[in-house]
Amino acid sequence: MSDGGEPTGDGDWTPENDAPDGWPVPLRGVTESVIATMGPNGLWNLAALGLHAGDPVTARTYGNTRTRRNFERRGGGVVQFVADPRPFVDAALSIREASEPVLPSADAWVEVDATLVDSWTEAGTTIREWELTPGESEVVREDPTTINRGFGAVVEATVAASRLGVAGFDDADLRERLDFLAGVVERAGGAREREAMTRIEEYADWDRPGN
């Protein structure tokens, strides 16, 4: 035997559970997605949407967003899963519209019906909970998973940037976190992460240190 090691490594490892019925990918905890919903102008609005794993899968809208209004008008939309941090940032922090619902960058997508199941108010914001029922779906692209700290930092920075100026969050904490995350992207990100971070800086009321 060795000094503290486990000679079996992760020999009892099994792949992640299958995707829930009707969903094109496995979901766990909160999986971040891009949601396309058709607006009154006939264009598809793109926004970020966190999918809460469970049976049924649920999602929340915060306040009077386009996604909330379009869910109410149209009863659903198209959930998609992107591997590129730039369309995620664009959807989350800017007004993006497209003539087609599925982004070229989507690795997978699924049409969903959205049914309002609950609503409550926190710090003056009405939070609505929607039950999502999957319809037609497609897996477009598959790759081995790789880990890049810069990618995670962009996602975390997107969340922080979206909370700047929002009641109930500490702006100084958020800015300090954004500064740290910008450094991670600088050191560990690829070209896409750097560009995504530049977009966050453009969309949000925040400038990275030294710029």
Token output for 90: 């664009």
Query: Which residue lies nearer to a second copy by CB, 9 or 124?
Result: 9
118 contacts 129 by C-beta, under 8 angstroms:
yes
Minimum distance from CB of 133 to a second copy (Å)?
A: 19
Minimum distance from CB of 128 to a second copy (Å)?
A: 18
The Cα 96–Cα 75 span in angstroms is: 20
Query: Which residue lies nearer to a second copy by CB, 94 or 115?
Result: 94
Minimum distance from CB of 93 to a second copy (Å)?
A: 12
Query: Which residue lies nearer to a second copy by CB, 83 or 166?
Result: 83
Buried b (16+ CB within 10 A) or exposed e, 171-207: eeebbebbeebbebbeeebeebbbbbbbbbbebbebe
Minimum distance from CB of 155 to a second copy (Å)?
A: 6
Q: CA–CA distance from 208 to each of 158, 190, 197 (Å)? A: 13, 17, 9
Minimum distance from CB of 169 to a second copy (Å)?
A: 13
Token output for 36: 């396309």
Query: Which residue lies nearer to a second copy by CB, 115 or 164?
Result: 164
Backbone angles phi, psi at 67, to 5 degrees: -60, -45
Query: Which residue lies nearer to a second copy by CB, 14 or 121?
Result: 14
